[in-house]
Amino acid sequence: MPRREEDESFVHRLWTAETGPLFFLREVATSAGAVLFVGLLLFGISGVWPPMVAVESGSMEPHMHKGDLVFITEPGRYTPDAAHGTTGVVTAATGQEVDYRTFGGPGSVVVYDEPGQGGPPIIHRAEFYVEEGENWFDRADPEFVSADSCRELLNCPAPHAGFITKGDANGRYDQASGIAAPVRPAWVTGIARVRIPYLGWVRLGLADAVRGREAGLLLGVARPPTRATGPTTTEIEPDVPFDAKDQARDRDGVGQIGTRVGTVETGPETAWAGTTPHGAVAAG
């Protein structure tokens, strides 16, 4: 009994404290519990973790903007009848036929992650589906391929079956610009459902801080100190130029909250900060 009275007294003091360590402990525990509850609730609805992604480029404008927070679901959930097979993805080609639209355009907007490429996933619209070995040049919109034949088009014939994807604001398909091969259904980690403006900036700000610190540590070991250009600014020149594929990939993608944040970045305007394979925060 004395022990139980002591426990009850502590709980009572913790619950009624208005200042001091007990008040701080209660507030922290309450906040953590609320975050955990919301996270579990969203996970139960979406079926994926994390259930939200922060848009890190303008490649989906005007329907998604950098800094938006996007709620996603597991591809197999809430599958529409027009979805391609069992993928849960409605292509833009099919969406035009059946009037299925999301985020201002026909078809599904998907989050995909090509294995072995590194960096955060990419969020783009699924345009159409191709089979292995298919000459998909004739099915493509000539405006988005920058080629006169399949021979001149990257990933044509298709090296394997998958989705041809494109950012709404981009001038070429991802597969035509070398951002990704045809997106296998297994690479699709989520389907975008709801956009929440501005909230993604919190995640992007944290990512900037982490990448800036990593950049400083890396450059401090690999090269002489940077040159000061003012009381609070520095100038950093990359030692090695990026190839065209990296530059193309740097324009597209999303970063998942709580997952990979990239490697090196010094700020939102840096060239080395693309979405894939190095991270994010690049103008699409």
How confident is the model at residue 117, as a pLDDT? 81
- The predicted-structure confidence for 172-231, as pLDDT tens digits, reads as follows 999 999 999 999 999 999 999 999 998 888 777 776 676 676 555 544 443 333 444 444
- The predicted-structure confidence for 144-178, as pLDDT tens digits, reads as follows 999 999 999 999 999 999 999 999 999 999 999 99
- The predicted-structure confidence for 135-145, as pLDDT tens digits, reads as follows 999 999 999 99
Count of CB atoms situated within 10 Å of the CB of 11: 10
pTM of the model: 0.68
Kind and range of the H or E element at 188? strand 188-196
**Residue 60's closest CA among 195, 225, 214, 190?**
195
Task: Kindly tell me if the per-residue pLDDT of 251 is higher than 90.
Answer: no
- Which of 7-16, 168-177, 260-269 shows the lowest mean pLDDT across its residues? 260-269
Are 167 and 100 contacting, i.e. CB atoms less than 8 angstroms apart? no
- The predicted-structure confidence for 23-40, as pLDDT tens digits, reads as follows 778 778 888 888 787 777
Q: Report phi then psi at 109, rounded to 5.
A: -100, 120
Q: Does residue 19 or residue 257 have the better pLDDT?
A: 19
CA distance 43 to 121: 19
**Residue 74's closest CA among 42, 40, 116?**
42
